Amino acid sequence: MTIRLQDPFGRAIEYVRLSVTDRCDLRCVYCLPKGHKDFVEPETWLNFDEVERVISAFGELGVSRIRITGGEPLVRHNLSDLINRMSSLEGITDLSLSTNAVRLGKLAPALKAAGIQRINVSLDTLKPDRFKAITGGKLEKVLDGLKAAKEVGFSPIKINMVVMKDVNEDEIEDMVEFCIEEDHTLRFIETMPIGNTGNINHFYSLDKAKQRLEQRYKLLPGFDSGGGPARYSQIAGTDLRIGFITPMSQHFCETCNRVRLTADGMLYLCLGQNDMVDLRTPLRNGISDKQLQQLIIDAIAQKPERHEFNTQPGHVVRFMSQTGG
């Protein structure tokens, strides 16, 4: 019989965000400091056999959904091989990917063939100069990546836009129009204070974004979130679904259903806390499958109730790219 993972607050844990690297080919201002190079060493990364063992253990424990993230997951060599291996694991029914899409133009067909079912793409602006200023990269590549993903049949693609005061808040409506036209789902995200990236004072409450949109569009409430943190609305007369992810202005910790595994095998129990359990050392010391499952069960028993971004903003010193956002 499958054991279901449940934390001390009665939340069922059925979702793992799996970071396959902390490295990235961009430097988004809210995620990594400019010029950042202090990444973990590749020999500490879990190899594909180790990742497969951990995900298999989670599958046995009732986890069905895995989102591959990073850092930028597409910089990890042979990622499709890992996806292929995970897609045949018992219990794992939903494999998805979060990416900046820079390398999606080349990799979309292989990812689809390997078993990725859904894709989220980070896109904060539609202006090339601004894209360069926010991420250090080229917007054109992301747009090419989106096109390729659409061509191989990913649908709908979710666009994640981190909304920042005085940076890109003026593009909220443009992004809505872009997503209506391209048939993407759109999610707005509030910036969280994670790691000291030097990007301060750009917090923009999504309440304001919603009020602005209500002046221009009719928003229909109450679309099912599918168990994620976004609260969805739909724009009347269109197929566009808009999600509001508000960790700061209205936290959603009471429905948290996830944990995060870093590239170097640390299991973080909350994005906004420092509680974690090292899985890599026991894996490399020859832990059995049963012991690995017990280690995971014991880790879940330590999951904190909620983040403290508002009350302790400097509390999480690791960067978002490290935990697997």
Ligand X SMILES: C[S@@+](CC[C@H](N)C(=O)[O-])C[C@H]1O[C@@H](n2cnc3c(N)ncnc32)[C@H](O)[C@@H]1O
Q: Given the rule CB under 6 A, which residues bind ligand X?
A: 24, 30-31, 69-70, 72, 98-100, 122, 160, 162, 189, 191-192, 194, 320-321, 325
Measured CA to CA, the distance from residue 186 to residue 225 in angstroms comes to: 12
β-strands 241-245, 118-122: how paired?
Answer: unpaired
Task: Return contacts of 304-307, CB within 8 angstroms, 24+ apart.
Answer: 304/269, 304/270, 304/273, 304/275, 305/9, 305/253, 306/251, 306/253, 306/254, 306/256, 306/270, 306/272, 307/247, 307/251, 307/253, 307/270, 307/271, 307/272, 307/273
Closer to ligand SF4 by Cβ: residue 32 or 107: 32
Interaction of residue 138 with ligand SF4, rule CB under 6 A: no
Interaction of residue 116 with ligand SF4, rule CB under 6 A: no
Interaction of residue 26 with ligand SF4, rule CB under 6 A: yes
Q: Is residue 20 within 8 Å of residue 307, measured between CB atoms? A: no
Supply the minimum distance, in Å, between the C-beta of residue 182 and ligand X. 17
Closer to ligand X by Cβ: residue 59 or 71: 71
Angle among Cα 317, 322, 324 to the nearest 5 degrees reads 120
Residue 96's binding partner out of ligand SF4, ligand X, none, with CB under 5 to 8 Å set by partner kind: none
Closer to ligand SF4 by Cβ: residue 32 or 86: 32
By CB under 6 A, the residues from 65 to 94 that bind ligand SF4 are 70-72
User: Which residue carries 């508002």 as its tokens?
Assistant: 310
By CB under 6 A, the residues from 189 to 218 that bind ligand SF4 are none
| Bridge partners, 231 (sequence order) | 244
> Which of 314, 203, 195 is closest to 248 using CA atoms?
203
Q: Is residue 304 within 8 Å of residue 180, measured between CB atoms? A: no
Supply the minimum distance, in Å, between the C-beta of residue 161 and ligand SF4. 12
Residue 299's binding partner out of ligand X, ligand SF4, none, with CB under 5 to 8 Å set by partner kind: none
Supply the minimum distance, in Å, between the C-beta of residue 297 and ligand SF4. 30
User: Which residue carries 């793409």 as its tokens?
Assistant: 121
User: Which residue carries 């409430």 as its tokens?
Assistant: 221
Supply the minimum distance, in Å, between the C-beta of residue 154 and ligand X. 14
Sign, CA torsion 202/205/209/211: negative
Stretch that binds ligand SF4, among 27-35, 145-153, 195-203, 261-269 (CB under 6 A): 27-35
Residues whose CB is less than 8 angstroms from the CB of residue 51 and which lie 6 or more positions away in sequence, other chains included = 18, 20, 82, 86
Containing H/E element for 135?
A: helix 128-135
Closer to ligand SF4 by Cβ: residue 126 or 180: 126
Closer to ligand SF4 by Cβ: residue 100 or 293: 100
Interaction of residue 20 with ligand SF4, rule CB under 6 A: no
Closer to ligand X by Cβ: residue 30 or 58: 30
Closer to ligand X by Cβ: residue 14 or 72: 72
Interaction of residue 100 with ligand SF4, rule CB under 6 A: yes
Residue 49: exposed, middle, or buried by beta-carbon count in 10 A (0-12, 13-18, 19+)?
exposed
Supply the minimum distance, in Å, between the C-beta of residue 190 and ligand X. 7
Residue 32's binding partner out of ligand X, ligand SF4, none, with CB under 5 to 8 Å set by partner kind: ligand SF4
Q: Which residues bind ligand SF4 (CB under 6 A)?
A: 24, 26-28, 31-32, 70-72, 100, 122, 135, 320-321
